[in-house]
Chains A and B, each alone.
Chain A
Amino acid sequence: MAATGTTHTARLVSRGERLALTALVAVICGPHILHLPFWVSFAAAALLAWNVLRTLLGQATPHGLLRALLTIAGVSAVFLGFGHINGQTAGVALLVLMLALKLSETQRYRDVVIVLALCCFVLVTQFLFSQSLGMALYLIGGSWLIVAAFVHLHAGDDAPPSASAAESARLLALAIPVAAALFVLFPRLPGPLWGLPADNGNTARTGLSDTMSPGAIADLARSGAVAFRVRFDGPAPPPALRYWRGPVLWDYDHGTWHTGPGVARDIAPASVHADGPTIRTDITLAPSHKRWLIALDMPLAVDTAHRRTAGGNWVAPRPIDQRVRYIARSATQYTLDAKLTPAARQRALALPATGNPRARALAHRWAQQDPGARAVVHSALDFLRRGGFSYTLNPPRTSRDNSVDDFLFTTRAGFCEHFAGAFTFLMRAAGVPARVVTGYQGAEHASLGDYWIVRDSDAHAWSEVWLAGAGWVRVDPTAAAAPKRIVDGINAAIADTGDLPYMAGGHGRDAWYRARMLWDAVDAGWNRWFLAYGPDLQQRLFAALGIAGFGTAIAILTGLVVGLLMLVSLWLAWRMRVAREPDPAVRAWQGVCRRLARRGIARRTGETPAHYAERVAARHPALARAITDLAARYSRLRYASTPGPAERRDFIRRARRFHPPRRG
């Protein structure tokens, strides 16, 4: 127990502590292996191993020059590898490398604190790549380890690691109510503050795009990822009406359909009139990095939406980079744009000057046979129904400028974007205003929980034609060629089901499928209640609670946090109270001493009862007999071999009755 005689800041980090710190860094950086290039993970692992080896061999900190060279090498390697050092992945790579390097020169308190702070930072960057439930568990474990390291650093030399780990758990457990209050009530600002980097980790997920070229939706359909989950307020509409409206594509150019510049701002927003009952849906949408708020066709209102487009779908004020949850009201029977403005008509009829001559000729022939728009639609659907078209995820390639001709007359095999694109082209060529609508078709009922799952594999494209008196009317040319697609889903409609993702394939609802659905229920709850909580839901919550604005929220939050901390403080005070003496006889004697102390004769530390009694008797002769008797009995009780219970009771009774008279 030689006094080290050092303050905590000057203390050198021990070998065991260095190894533990290295292990902590390895655990905290671990999941980044999934997102970082191989060479970064390898370099970081090598640096950590080097650190372990040097610690075990008891070698000193590497030379400053070597550290500087390694730092320069790390920054250069990241710059060369990524082409920049400020993107998300590049930044994380740099952070991980610098943390591993910092570890090699960790000698003193200050270095350890910096390593721990960097660990917090690395931990938070994990969540940019994934916010799954697994990462939530990782957050708990990581916080526990980091806080335990902080505690161990300040607990003194003789604290066992288990005590620091327990203290860390206690701190974090006590922090939960305050953290929850902050999470719910701390004002959330919408949108990015400085813009998201181009290589945002979430871009891995594909979604509906604002362009549609042949093969685009087929690619999307190969993903089993959940696009959104939906709850119907009331019964779900029949399968044939489960169309989910996404971006509307007006413009056609070189085989590709797109929304057009500025999402067709030059045309006034669509006007919708519901002709039947409205359906209320509660939708939790995965981040798409686009502004589309997908809703059941035809959406009348979406609560968090910014505006309605000319195509009748709704867009958010900014790209959806995080999971959002919103309420949409829709009508499956509706009138959309009963009147067509000249600008819209012009746009809905526009075709490039050249390309696809055979399709144009066919359309002209139909228009000459019967110029009525409905007749043209029927002719086209009839052509698709009888033309021997097959519905497949893997259609043969078509040329860029004559893709419609190739599909209609040569390959005769395609996915929904081929059918919708070709049909819309034919309509425009025949003089019928038409456009492509993309979105999703279908929904799968979750086996657990009252919600429906719509996956990327449900992505779909269809057409809308404008008919006088009816407005825009949905025509699904895929349904003409593959009617099962609409009612039974993609799995039933296509021949090459092996290319479908597992969950879209159905696979006879085996045990694995059921397990996946169970997990989906958990994930759905996580998305709906945790991840979707953002500025919009917070505003809605504030409105429901009657909180007017951020000022009130901050005031309530402050009060709540202070109140919760006071509870923590009270609990601590209760735990830290002076422990009550378990032996009633000792307590009774302590009571005697306390009462005497109030009369001015406090018992000294280490003074035996007999000595104390002598002193009391000298000062207060009147008490002499009583106190000497009590002291003698107490000594017998405490130090005699086996005091009887009667003797104990007698002493306790006498001690409690002992009350020195007040002076004066």
Chain B
Amino acid sequence: MALGIPLTHRIDAAIRRRAPSGPPPLRIPARRVYILPSATGALFGVLLVVMLVGATNYGNNLAFTLTFWLAAAALVSMHRAHRNLAGVELTDVRAAPVFAGETACFDIELASHARPVRRGLYVAGGATGIGRALAVDRERAGHASIEVPTHGRGRLSCPRLTLSSRYPMGLFRCWSHAAPSARVLVYPAPIDRLGSASMAQAGDDGHAEPVRAGEALFAGHRRFQTGDSRRRIDWKASARTDDLIITEHHDSRAPSHWFDYATLDALAPEARLSQLAYWVVEADRHGAVYGLRLPRQTLGPATGPAHRRDCLEALALF
């Protein structure tokens, strides 16, 4: 056993190295499909041996026929299992950005360009990845999602995927690996280290009123400008004029807030990024106009989902 374990590891490593990799679409080549008997297959083998011994003992030709026929079907199923997986295509892998600590979800699309339906395909990935049985053919793509827990911010690569199938008879497990080069952006976890009043402190343009959700004060109207949130359009006021009118609140007068990395020197670097992420998320939730100031980068001031994404991406890749 002492020799066996490193050997299996070496074989496994070799199999990993040979997994097709790169941007989707990735095709599973027939030569990269591995196949071994499953536990069910082993049980079936024992059953066949018992049946063969029984048939020999009784010299029973129908028993021989059944035994040989099932054995032959099992052998054919081995080839069928291999063909069921070979040539399957990973057409797309995508994932929406998540915050660190959340579970990233890679959506995998499988397709086949061959006529017969491929059934019972499982996709698994990562240590905790689980799959589900899929059927794909030329008309119908299969979708599986691989969930990967995230720990830190940054880019997270899609784990190496294992495509497997026991179809048709479950006597053989056939599998192949694929390493699609797809990545998901993991934002820093939004953690408020400085308490509820922190957002006010972060503002540096003299507006020191504390801002709390739902407490924004009416400050007047102005004309709609590109980039304004549609939620803030005052439809009644707009109906009286030819222009769209925006309701302005105290807290949303541009530039309302600047979130500056440099002001957070009391915190550790990762904690600073978490704090900034929290502010960005909160400010966006309130529809505020905000800017983000990082040591080599300044974003905004602006508002809206695109700005939020830019800010969080900058924080994630900081």
Q: Residues of A at under 8 Å CB distance from B?
A: 1, 3-8, 113-114, 117, 120-121, 123-124, 127-128, 131, 135-136, 139, 143, 147, 150-151, 153-159, 163, 167, 171-172, 174-179, 182-183, 186, 188-194, 196, 321-322, 530-531, 533-535, 561, 565, 568-569, 572-573, 575-579, 605
Contact = CB atoms under 8 A, between A and B. Distances in A.
Nearest to B64: A183
A190 to B, nearest CB: 8
Contacts of B166: 8, 154
Nearest to B53: A193
B5 interface: no
A645 B116 CA distance: 32
Contacts of B77: 171
B101 to A, nearest CB: 21
Contact of A576 (B76, B92, B114, B131): B114
Interface in B98-138: 113-117, 119-122, 130-135, 138
A136 B59 CA distance: 16
18 contacts: A4-B132, A114-B43, A117-B43, A120-B47, A135-B62, A143-B69, A150-B170, A150-B171, A151-B169, A154-B167, A156-B120, A159-B120, A179-B72, A183-B64, A188-B59, A192-B57, A192-B58, A193-B53
B135 A159 contact: yes
Nearest to B68: A182
Given A155-B119, A531-B61, A568-B76, A179 B69 contact: yes
B10 to A, nearest CB: 27
A131 B168 contact: no
B79 A3 contact: no
Interface string B135-150: 1001000011100000
Contacts of A565: 75-76, 79
A117 B80 contact: no
Nearest to A1: B143
Contacts of A174: 73, 76
B169 to A, nearest CB: 5
Contacts of B119: 155-156, 159, 163
Contact of A163 (B69, B72, B117): B117
B61 A573 contact: no
Interface of B: 24-25, 30, 40, 43-44, 47, 50-51, 53-73, 75-77, 79-80, 82-83, 86-87, 91-92, 113-117, 119-122, 130-135, 138, 143-145, 166-171
A164 B73 CA distance: 14
Contact of B168 (A167, A183, A186, A605): A167
A150 B169 contact: yes
Contacts, number: 202
Contacts of B80: 171, 572
B120 A175 contact: no
B113 A131 contact: no
Contacts of A153: 170
Nearest to B55: A124
Given A147-B73, A578-B113, A322 B132 contact: no
- Which of B25, B60, B166 has most chain A Cβ within 10 Å? B60
B62 A194 contact: no
Contacts of A568: 76, 79
B168 to A, nearest CB: 5
A605 B24 contact: yes
Contacts of B59: 188, 190-192, 321-322, 534-535
A577 B86 CA distance: 10
Shortest beta-carbon contacts, A-B, top 3 = A156-B133, A175-B72, A178-B72
B2 to A, nearest CB: 31
A94 B303 CA distance: 77
Nearest to A147: B73
A5 B132 contact: yes
A572 B78 CA distance: 11
A578 B56 contact: no
B180 to A, nearest CB: 12
A179 B65 contact: yes
Nearest to A143: B69
B61 A179 contact: no
Q: At the interface, is chain A mostly helix, strand, loop or mixed?
A: helix
A139 to B, nearest CB: 6
Contact of A179 (B40, B54, B68): B68
Contact of B56 (A188, A569, A577): A188
A568 B82 CA distance: 12
B58 A7 contact: no
B114 A7 contact: no
A533 B65 CA distance: 12
B291 to A, nearest CB: 35
Contacts of A7: 122, 130-131
Contacts of A177: 72
A4 B145 CA distance: 11
A561 B75 contact: yes
Contacts of A163: 117, 119
- Which of A167, A534, A576 has most chain B Cβ within 10 Å? A576
Contacts of A127: 60, 62-63, 66
A176 B169 CA distance: 17
Given A113-B40, A179-B71, A572-B80, A196 B57 contact: yes
Nearest to A157: B133
Nearest to A10: B130
A171 B169 CA distance: 9
Contacts of A530: 61
A194 B57 contact: yes
A155 B76 contact: no
Contact of A158 (B24, B79, B135, B169): B135
Contacts of B65: 136, 139, 179, 183
Given A154-B166, A531-B61, A576-B114, A124 B72 contact: no
Contacts of B63: 124, 127-128
Nearest to B59: A322
Nearest to A184: B68
A530 B169 CA distance: 29
A298 to B, nearest CB: 29
A572 B79 contact: yes
A309 to B, nearest CB: 23
Given A188-B56, A193-B53, 6 more contacts: A7-B130, A147-B73, A163-B117, A179-B72, A192-B58, A565-B76
Contact of B135 (A114, A156, A192, A531): A156
A5 B57 contact: no
A88 to B, nearest CB: 9
B182 to A, nearest CB: 13
Contacts of B133: 8, 155-158
- Which of A154, A176, A530 has most chain B Cβ within 10 Å? A154
A139 B66 contact: yes
Contact of A117 (B44, B73, B143): B44
A61 B122 CA distance: 29
Contact of B58 (A117, A128, A171, A578): A128
A631 B239 CA distance: 48
Contacts of B40: 113
A492 to B, nearest CB: 38
A131 B60 contact: yes
A258 B168 CA distance: 59
Contact of B83 (A114, A139, A576): A576
B60 A128 contact: yes
Contact of B61 (A121, A534, A575): A534
A157 B131 CA distance: 13
- Which of B69, B80, B144 has most chain A Cβ within 10 Å? B69
- Which of B61, B131, B171 has most chain A Cβ within 10 Å? B61
- Which of B43, B76, B144, B169 has most chain A Cβ within 10 Å? B76
Nearest to B145: A3
Nearest to A156: B133
Contacts of A194: 57
Contacts of A193: 53, 56-57
B115 A579 contact: yes
Contact of B120 (A120, A155, A569): A155
